[in-house]
Each structure stands twice: as C-alpha cells, then as structure tokens.
Amino acid sequence: MKKYKLAIVGATGLVGRTVLKVLEERNLPVSEYVLLASKKSAGKTTHFMGKDYVVQELNEHSFDEGFDFAIFSAGGDTSKKYSPIAASKGCIVVDNSSAFRMDPNVPLVVPEVNPEEIKNHHGIIANPNCSTIQAVVALKPLDNKYKIKRIVYSTYQAVSGAGRNGVLDLENGAKNYLENTDTPMQKFPYPIFSNCLPHIDTFLDNGYTKEEEKMINETRKILKRPELKITATTVRVPVFNSHSESINVEFENDFDMKELIDTLKTFPNLIVQDNTKEQLYPLATNASGKDEVFVGRIRRDESVPFGVNLWVVADNIRKGAATNAVQIVEELCDYKLL
C-alpha cells in the first residue's frame, strides 16, 4: 500500500489544530506530515502523532520537495497565492477558504453528498462553508427522494466560526457582565454576550450578507440545482461551538413522514434525534467534538402542500471544516490506490 505525503497549511490556527486532532483519530495512509504556517507562527513546536513537529514558514518553495496532498486552513488570500503553486507541483489541495468555492473548475465537496466530484479536480478541491456542509448532509437524501422546490435557511452560528477573536469576544463579554468591566471587542461590531447579531461577514448591495450568499450559491452547486429557490438569514449567537440551523423545505412531491424520517436515518453520518415526548432534539453542546450531523424537530410544514421543518446541528470546526477536509483526503487516498 502506498504511503502519502501531506502538508497542513495554517497548522497553528483554530481549524488547523483541529485538522491535526482529526488526523490523529483517523488512520490515513500517510507516512510524512509537514506543518506550515505564516512567518509569525513559524518555529513553534506542535506535538502531533506522538512526536514534536517544528512548524515551517509557508513560502513559494514550500512544495518543491513534492507532496501528494495539502490541507489549507489559512484564509482566502493565502489560498489564492499558494494553492496554485502547490497544484502546479503535483500536490492536490483541499482548501478550507472561500477562495475557490464558486470556481466552476473547482469541485465543491461534501463526501457524504457528492464524492463523485472529487475525481473532477484540477489540483484544487474546495471545502464548503461550515453552515452549508451540515445543511446539505441533511438535505441531499430528501432532494434525491422528493425533489426540493424551495429552501429557507435560518442559522444560529457559534462564535468559534469567527475564529479566536470571536471566542474572546464572548468570553470577555461574560467577564464584563459578571465583573462590571469594559473590555474592547476584538471581532464583532456589537457585544455578542446576551445578544444575537444578524450579521455574518459583510453586507452586499441587495441587503444580504456574504455568508447568506455563500449558503445559497454553495447549496445550489453541491446539489447540482443551479435554479433552486433558496433564501437565508444567518445569525451569530452567544454559543461557543457548533452551529444550529432551522431549515424549512418545500418539495415538488408529497411525502410520508415516517418514510422521510427513515430516509434521513439511513444517510451516512446523519443522526436523527427526534423524540418530542422525551424532549430529545439536537443540541450544540452535544454535537461539539463529534463528526456527525444531527437532525431533529422534524415536522410537516402545514402552511404549504409538501413542506417540512428540520433542526440541524453540527460541530462547525470539525464537520464544518477540519473533518470534511480530512474526509476528502481519505477519498483521494482511496481513489489513488485503485
């Protein structure tokens, strides 16, 4: 069995550190790892796979030695600059940023949903937005069976999705409340503690935010439904980790509720938690640290002929970023071993 060489770019960041953790938990046929980051983080030592790794500075020559794969988690600007360099030297890049997601020549992949797209890469594969990933895992089996007509997204997104400074704003907000202090905000325009901010990423001319636009366009691309009617409202909430989503779906065809739930239960890495008598439904605290997507509060939307409401929760740093990227590399390994 061939062993591969894998680079982790942005290894010291929130997602990068989680990528390392996920790699330790999974048995990939990788014999050599190289950890890369910015000049600021270069030289740091990270304990990984039972030994200490010195983080190397990312530069134009980082991929000269030859890599099979690289996972990029260092932001869009870094990906735009260095991903093409890596790809030009035979390295297949799995990119966590938004830099290439809507490029028609770059596959946008969630392995449970559209693994066949992996083979269509030209050196770069895009990891979708965290909120999109968990949504399409729940929506794909329903679209296959009943054909989705329209989607309404309402998200409740954790501060970890905004990086370390987002987490600090919530931590400091709680401290300010308890100690009557005033710590300047690092990330958000308003306090996130005891607040909900209907504002993720920048506003566009049409009144939507970039995050909402990402969910709409990425869902269409992944489901291969370019004309699918979708609207979205994305909200940052005072939760440390795991995104929650209320998804209203209208179908072209009628459905039996038991059959619909059974369809969800049989889909890979999708766990149904739906028992109102026992007050069982997905929670952010329970999803954190897990790789699966959880769905519950499944009920018919009685305001339209063929509609259903879903509550979908997942760890946005793991399945929403790190784990999905590692899964893509796993698929690449399997493909290259054929």
Which pLDDT belongs to residue 5?
A: 96
Domains of the chain, residue spans: 4-127+321-337, 132-316
pLDDT digits (tens, 9 = 90+) for 198-233: 999 999 999 999 999 999 999 999 999 999 999 999
Least reliable range by pLDDT among 52-61, 144-153, 265-274, 329-338: 329-338
Q: What is the mean predicted confidence (pLDDT) over 269-287?
A: 98
Q: Model confidence at 338, in pLDDT bands (50, 70, 90)?
A: very low
Sheet strands side by side (includes 229-236): 229-236, 148-157, 243-251, 307-314, 293-301, 270-272
Pick from 221, 220, 223, 201: nearest CA to 212: 201
CATH topology of domain 132-316: Dihydrodipicolinate Reductase; domain 2 (3.30.360)
| Distance between CA atoms of residues 223 and 158, nearest Å | 25
Q: What is the average pLDDT value for the chain, to the nearest integer? A: 96
Query: CB within 8 A of 104, min separation 6: which ones?
Result: none
Which CATH fold topology does 4-127+321-337 show? Rossmann fold (3.40.50)
Q: Return left, alpha or beta for 224; rule: phi > 0 is left, psi -120 to 50 is alpha, else beta.
A: left
pLDDT of 134-161, one tens digit each? 999 999 999 999 999 999 999 999 999 9
CA pair distance 188, 195, nearest whole angstrom: 11
Q: Compute the distance between CA of residue 189 and CA of residue 174 in angstroms, rounded to an integer.
A: 16
Confidence (pLDDT) at 1: 60
Contact 70, 329 (CB under 8 A): no
**Catalytic residue numbers, as ranges:** 130, 243
| Residues 211, 135 contacting (CB under 8 angstroms) | no
Q: How many Cα atoms are found within 13 Å in the side-chain-facing hemisphere of 82?
A: 29
**β-strand partners of 307:** 250, 301
**Mean pLDDT for the stretch of residues 11-32:** 95
Helix (H) or strand (E) holding 248: strand 243-251
Q: 158-183 pLDDT, tens per residue?
A: 999 999 999 999 999 999 999 999 99
**What would the pLDDT profile of 288-317 be if each residue is shown by its tens digit?**
999 999 999 999 999 999 999 999 999 999
Pairing label, strands 229-236, 243-251:
unpaired
